[in-house]
Homo-oligomer: A and B are copies of this chain.
Amino acid sequence: MSDRKNAQINILVVDDDRDIARAIEIYLKNEGYNVLLAYDGLQALNAAIKENLHLIIMDIMMPVLDGVQATMKIREEKNIPIIMLSAKSEDYDKITGLNVGADDYITKPFNPLELIARVKSQIRRYLNFGSIEKENIKGIYRTGGLVIDDTSKEVTLDGEAVQLTPTEYGILKLLVSNAGKVFPINQIYEKVWDEPAYSPENTVTVHIRRIREKIEIDPKNPRYLKVVWGLGYKAEKI
């Protein structure tokens, strides 16, 4: 029953009520979408940066970081469509949500058909808008001659395959998929390892060095993985 054409589309569902999140997940998977789950705004924000998302469905009332705040943060980074969910149908929520950068709004309890309709509408709008490149939907990231295919997990440099370890791949994907953006070392650690960074930040440095050895002609003068002194690393946007 699942559409093949939707198999590449990643939707993030964010709700602290796991039953609701799971229910939505079922509806969406039934339509053939690929679904990721998060249970608070912070997780959502991390996923938005790390994953190749095409739509976010987010509850407003959440612990840690509520839907409104999370939306604002995400908007600073990405331009993915966001549908807000709210238990109450109060105007205040709606207005806040939309002003803050949400693209649509659904009140709970919602009609599954309506949810799907709005999801499709947003996706159509997003994909047609040209705001996204065809490449992105396939999970392909690139800068200069460096190409990362996240579907096959293959990395090529000027057409030649590069062999990376899982950790190296994770770091490179994070940086290249957000090319130009500077990531502090501990943020890299947290996003790639998915656990709080205490102090072993040297680890990241060592990995960076190894990636450079594999993708840079002259690791001392990197073209792609650049350090921004005192701030972190970034993949040069070429």
Bound-state CA distance A182–B154 (Å) is 10
- Bound together, the chains give a CA A165 to CA B229 distance in angstroms of 7
Asked if A153 is at the interface of the complex by the 8 Å CB criterion, the answer is: yes
A218 at the B interface (CB under 8 A): no
Q: List, in ascending order, chain B residues with CB within 8 A of A181's CB.
A: 151-152
B151 touches A180 (CB 8 A): yes
A182 to B166 CA separation, bound complex (whole angstroms) = 12
| Main SS class of interface, A | loop
> Is the pair B234, A152 in contact by a Cβ cutoff of 8 Å?
yes
Given A166-B229, A229-B166, does the pair A182, B139 have CB atoms closer than 8 Å?
no
A75 CB within 8 Å of chain B:
yes
Contacts of A76 in B (CB 8 A): 137-139
CA gap between A166 and B151 in the complex, in Å: 26
- Report how far A139 CA is from B73 CA in the complex, Å: 12
Asked if residues B237 and A152 are in contact (CB atoms below 8 Å), the reply is yes
A159, CB-defined interface residue at 8 Å: no
Kindly provide the distance from the CB of A174 to the nearest chain B CB, expressed in whole angstroms.
14
> A137–B234 contact, CB under 8 A?
no
Q: Which residues of A approach B to under 8 Å, CB–CB?
A: 75-76, 137-139, 151-153, 165-167, 169, 180-182, 228-231, 234, 237
Q: Can you report 23 residue pairs joining A to B where beta carbons are below 8 Å apart? A: A75-B137, A76-B137, A76-B138, A76-B139, A151-B180, A151-B181, A151-B182, A152-B180, A152-B181, A152-B182, A152-B234, A152-B237, A153-B182, A153-B228, A153-B231, A153-B234, A165-B229, A165-B230, A166-B229, A166-B230, A166-B231, A167-B230, A169-B231
